[in-house]
Amino acid sequence: MPDPKGSHPQAPDEQPEPSTLPDSARSGITRRGFLKGAGLTAAGTALLDGVQAFSSETAAPATNGVTELGPGPVPVRLHVNGAEHTVEIEPRTTLAEALRINLGMTGTKVVCDRGVCSGCTVWLDKMPVNSCMTLAIDAVGHHVTTIEGLSSEDRMHPLQAAFVKHDAMQCGFCTPGMVMSCAALLERNPHPSEHDIRHAVSGNLCRCGTYPKIFAATMDVAGTTRNA
Amino acid sequence: MNRFSIADCSSVDAALSQLKDGAVVKAGGVDLLDRMKDGIEQPTRLVNIRNISGLRGIRETEQGLTIGPLTTLAEISDHPLIQSQYQILADASGHAATPHIRNMATVGGNLLQRVQCWYYRSSDFQCIRKGKDLCFAFDGLNQYHAIMEYATCPSVAPSSAAVALLGLNASVELSSAKRGKRNLGIRDLYVVPDANPTKFTVIEPDELLTAIVIPKPAPGTRSAYQKYGEKESFDWAIADAGVVLEMDGDVCRRAVITMGAASPVVRRSPQAEAALTGKSINEETARAAGKVAVEGAQPLSGNAYKLDLFPVAVYRTILLAAGQRDRDPSAAG
């Protein structure tokens, strides 16, 4: 059967619970929290004892230089935000899906799912990429950084604080991708010009049109001024 | 996206041994995953070459450059030698898609990406490129389509790297476990749809693109590439031009003018090249070359604007290559 469009698993949406529904508040369980918890449990219990996860160590000495994976779920070791995680995924799973569904890291947004909008931007070894067009198995052996990994404990990354200060978001859906793209630029170039910032986010679409404030927030962190 | 098994390979020999029974090669995966997500292709077996380190990197040789097909577009556009001596390739690699895609997409994948015709890219349309007998673009929406050389299918060549590499007279090396290696020029890599609409390249199922070889430009060579699109970023070109000029003082000894979004396979314009050969490069000769670049073009119902856009793309890119004009601010990317 041909695969109908959009048949890949969809991650739970991150809609806040409307305040008019008191049940979840009473029980202390939110839909978001429940779904994220369920996802983590599934990922944790699905690991097969004694099966070595696909990782950069197992890939190298494989028979004749070929490591067979799938089509069914295989354990894969991902290094995300400084920690090792083993997830049980089919080879067709994108990095965005593994992060959101298997690891519950829903900060990374999937918008177009085709590499057009960069809403799903994460870093592979500090290089910004589209996680929707990267297979999770191709992230093995690399350090993945998501928006969750940018802040530490309760402290925001300076760029996140600048986004708040400059009100650099409206609907917020492009924001994690924008922050990851601009933060990656600041890692490479701590004092970018506005032109550099425009170039760095030239793949990030914001349909609300918040670009000027995104540029202002990034220039604030960089200590540069407009049209520098 | 359909389910598939994948053979993750760590060497060229390993990958070649897996190229059988309908297995499809995956490198950066950008175009392949796109087609799979849209249901245009459902391969059940992929061969992952992404981690073969020997297929990645840029090497300067006596003869010129050898580029591994897994080298990303970002790595090519950021390379100092390519920026200084192969400007056309730095321009083309640095203005394809988006910064993030350029970090992931390989130059080999850019060369071998399928056409972007929206009928081909939709699983709702079974067109001549998918083995049926109908083209929807001739009578349908065709504003992004070809203006020349399109008897069977008017989709246009999507690869900006190909426009640059054809200009540089590059060749590709194809390897097979059974037949060894063969080398082909860029233009010969592609199958024109009039010859076989379902075959996009001459690469056989058991073959792998293993190198891109670029001869050293003659002394005095200057080059440039510019693309024009509806959007400043991400989009494919609606008109683009590659220009390589071998200069002898003020006189152009030899010119190569290439165009991507004009025809189903990347092409040179012998008319535009002739208009520059033996002449000095200036506003007048550049405009004349741009004008003849669309000689003989026959637009479809929705793309006559390309008859105006291509001459501008060619003319402005000639002056950019000659160092007489800055990069066009209205060019995309």
Numbered ranges of CATH 3.30.465.10 in chain B? 55-113+156-215
Q: Chain B: give the shortest CA distance to residue A135, in Å.
A: 8
Q: State the Cα–Cα distance between residues B242 and B160, nearest whole angstrom.
A: 9
Least confident of A43-47, A92-96, B206-210, B285-289: A43-47
Window B:88-107, CB contacts with A under 8 Å: 97-101, 103-104
Q: State the Cα–Cα distance between residues A118 and B115, nearest whole angstrom.
A: 22
What is the mean predicted confidence (pLDDT) over A54-73?
Answer: 80
Contact residues, chain A to chain B, C-beta under 8 Å: 2-5, 7-8, 54, 59-60, 62, 64-71, 90-92, 94, 113-116, 118, 121, 124, 127-130, 133-135, 137-138, 141, 181, 199-200, 202-203
Report CA B97 to chain centroid distance, whole Å: 13
Q: Do residues A96 and A89 lie in contact, with contact meaning Cβ atoms separated by under 8 Å?
A: no
Q: Do residues B58 and B71 lie in contact, with contact meaning Cβ atoms separated by under 8 Å?
A: yes
Which pLDDT score, from 0 to 100, does residue A224 have? Answer: 74
Q: Do residues B269 and B243 lie in contact, with contact meaning Cβ atoms separated by under 8 Å?
A: no
Q: Tens digits of per-residue pLDDT, B201-214? A: 999 999 999 999 99
- Give the pTM: 0.90
B29 touches chain A (CB under 8 A): yes
Report CA B79 to chain centroid distance, whole Å: 19
CATH code of domain B55-113+156-215:
3.30.465.10
Cβ-nearest to B101 among A60, A66, A130: A130
pLDDT above 80 (res B333): no
Query: In terms of CA atoms, which chain B residue is nearest residue A136?
Result: B29
Q: Which fold has domain A158-222?
A: DNA polymerase; domain 1 (1.10.150)
Interface touch B233/A59, C-beta < 8 Å:
no
Q: Tens digits of per-residue pLDDT, A178-190? A: 999 999 999 999 9
Q: A155-191: b or e for each residue (b if 16 or more CB lie within 10 Å)?
A: eebebbebbeebebbeeebbbbbbbbbbbbbbeeeee
pLDDT above 90 (res A59): no
Between helix A175-188 and helix A211-222 the angle, nearest 10°, is: 30
Which pLDDT score, from 0 to 100, does residue B234 have? Answer: 85
B53 touches chain A (CB under 8 A): no
For chain A, strand residue ranges (E) read 66-69, 74-80, 83-89, 121-124, 127-130, 143-145
Which amino acid makes up residue B197?
P
Q: Chain B: give the shortest CA distance to residue A183, in Å.
A: 13
Which pLDDT score, from 0 to 100, does residue A44 have? Answer: 40
Residue ranges per structural domain of chain A: 22-106+135-140, 158-222
- Judging contacts by C-beta atoms under 8 Å, the chain A residues touching residue B17 are 64, 66
pLDDT above 90 (res B26): yes
Cβ-nearest to B234 among A8, A65, A116: A116
Complex ipTM, two decimals? 0.96
| Confidence tier at A55 by pLDDT (50, 70, 90) | confident
Which pLDDT score, from 0 to 100, does residue A54 have? Answer: 86
Q: Which fold has domain B221-321?
A: Enolase-like; domain 1 (3.30.390)
Numbered ranges of CATH 3.30.390.50 in chain B? 221-321
